[in-house]
Structure 1
């Protein structure tokens, strides 16, 4: 089975638009008994790195509207991607965080392009993979957090402001090989230039 969104992703996307926004693998949301799990008729299997209550509500809403059961397998993104690549024939949908991980999944060949006019008509190009292998469901902001007692807000209004010598040795940040940091650098390059990203 190839891993596409199909009707599930359409329902999930439309439902999420109206919503308020472990180490070991586990199944959540409407657990299935063995007989149900071996019969893939009326079942959609979601591999998810996310663990938010809003997702569970979307899955429940989907089940109520379609009568299709949702089986969710949760784990870290890297483990889910490897699991699908090795033996994920039951996977219908992969939900993870950050575009870098989605691209990793695409490069491993475990995704197929989404063929849905509903989705492509509602999700702008900038929130989709170049060949529609994935779409963005939610947006995260990479914010600056600082002590109001020690930092004047006017001094730090952009990420570029962190390159000021004043802040040397005073910044706590993820390692450079972290996918979140790499995505942040990519966004700075895209919105500014490479010189700003390498300061």
Structure 2
């Protein structure tokens, strides 16, 4: 297996945490993609991943899988260890729901703010920007933080009492928020405590 990614970027981080949680990081070859140099937009990379983003998983038979949720689904099913996507129909549905809320409301919203309302990755890569949209998505991200804090007032993790893909996505989203300059209000004590707890996990702290 190969993972085409950029170490330190939020979406690649989600996949790397999932691999570490399953204890299989050493079974994967990481292939760096020069995003700052535009490699992800070349015909060669688009042939692997038409989305022109990282990460992208290449299987031994030459199959390419993109989109973090799909990659994590594969990793979770392909390797032993505690499930990150749920074992029962109810668990799977709850985790998928919370993962999408964390992805759309936090990580993607922060991304829209970063790419549209700040210099982002620079003029060579940010070929279209709409500051109004970016700032609106900053509001969405801040609102999602409040929502997640409420969820965490009743649960240890975002989809119940077990660490899951939803927690990975939210954790990456908050890291991206730090980078983009969107602060977590100190009043969101549950979210801050959850973040500190997740940060201490071996898959992340290492």
Q: What TM-score do the two structures reach when normalised by structure 1?
A: 0.28
Q: How does the TM-score come out when normalised to structure 2?
A: 0.27
In terms of fraction of residues, the more helix-rich structure is 2
